[in-house]
Amino acid sequence: MRNVFIAILLGVFARTAFACAPAPHAGDEIAIVEESALIVWDPATTTEHFIRRATFHGKGRDFGFLVPTPSIPALAEADDDIFRTLTSWAQPPVKYVSRKELDWSPWLLGSYSRRQNATTAAAGVEVLATQTIAGYEAVVLEASDSAALQKWLSEHGYEANHDLNYWLDAYIAQRWKITAFKIAATNPEARTGAVKMSFVTPRPFFPYREPQSQRTFSAQLNRTLHVFFLGPERVTGTIGSGTEWPAELRRSENLTAPMHAAIAKATSLPISPSLRLTAYEDWLSVRPGMDDLFFNRADDQSPFIPEPKIIANVETTRIPLDVVGIAVIALIALTIYLRARSRRHEH
């Protein structure tokens, strides 16, 4: 019998959660509009530490969401501030330069222009264990197949449709585990804090696969996905067996001392200072989420730092073109007058 382990995180106002396949009540629509994930990969023990936060958009009293992992995960809290630090690190460095310019804009017309601008559990599902995290209860369930889990979701007030069933089948066939969370959606956008999931996996991955209905609803929204990968080398991402991940490489370099300290504190992990941190951004509203995202060693292991953002301090010398023109005309007129006067005096 194929088994799926389900962890259910219950709470009225969930501060910690993940999202891959939202499972709202029937008739409700929930989409993920912003996700940030830090993946810490230890190849020696084939252990992935997956820290994630997300922002949801939609209507509904509350909703559940499912996260697949190849093995049973251990859950722990993480410091949400780490994503602010990582996002800042991934931005292009700022370079300040000074330069001098001549401003030839007219003085009379310019004054007029400035004045103008100033005015404008079911059969087949068994409770195995419980865990408390961040003040909420996690209930570990065992399901024999997707139909049993689908029935459990229906009995707990969630829409269990063919789309979700198809999504679950892909993981059940691989004997993956599913972690289901529950979050209250009292506002149009509900943002979760950071939770760490630690599990054994043969390959580091990000749960990128989505049900078809999620991709359809998300097409109406602007979504962003920020992935930070920490491991012994620079990595690239592929969807499934080899489809290129259409994401932008933002930065990749060895850990600095401040970043090492920040990640170690946020994750409570023994982080080696020799690890490599790589950042990617995915801006696709409709993702090619037919499979999960796996990370592999990149052929190019050189550091990648984006071109600096230039902020110029401009020292402007004002030479109004209209004033210069008037002065030149006056000088020419004066010269003509003086020459004419000189000729009259000669005669």
At 84-108, the pLDDT tens digits run: 999 999 998 777 777 666 655 665 5
Provide the CA 184 distance to its chain's centre, in angstroms: 22
**What is the per-residue pLDDT for 334?**
81
Q: Would you state the pLDDT for residue 102? A: 64
Q: What is the pLDDT of residues 125-176, one digit of tens each?
A: 766 656 656 444 555 667 777 788 777 767 766 666 677 788 888 887 787 8
How far does Cα 127 stand from its chain's mean position?
34
State the pLDDT at residue 276: 98
User: What's the pLDDT score for residue 159?
Assistant: 62
Whether residue 241 contacts residue 290, with contact meaning beta carbons closer than 8 Å, is answered with no
Domains of the chain, CATH where assigned: 4-91+121-302 (2.60.250)
The count of other CB atoms within 10 Å of the CB of residue 323 is 13
Task: Give me the pLDDT at residue 57, please.
Answer: 52
CB distance 244 to 238 below 8 Å: yes
Q: Please tell me the predicted confidence (pLDDT) of residue 224.
A: 85
Q: Which residues of the chain have pLDDT under 70?
A: 1-33, 55-64, 99-124, 126-141, 153, 156-161, 182-193, 213-221, 312-315, 318, 345-347
What rounded mean pLDDT belongs to the chain?
75
Report pLDDT for 14: 33
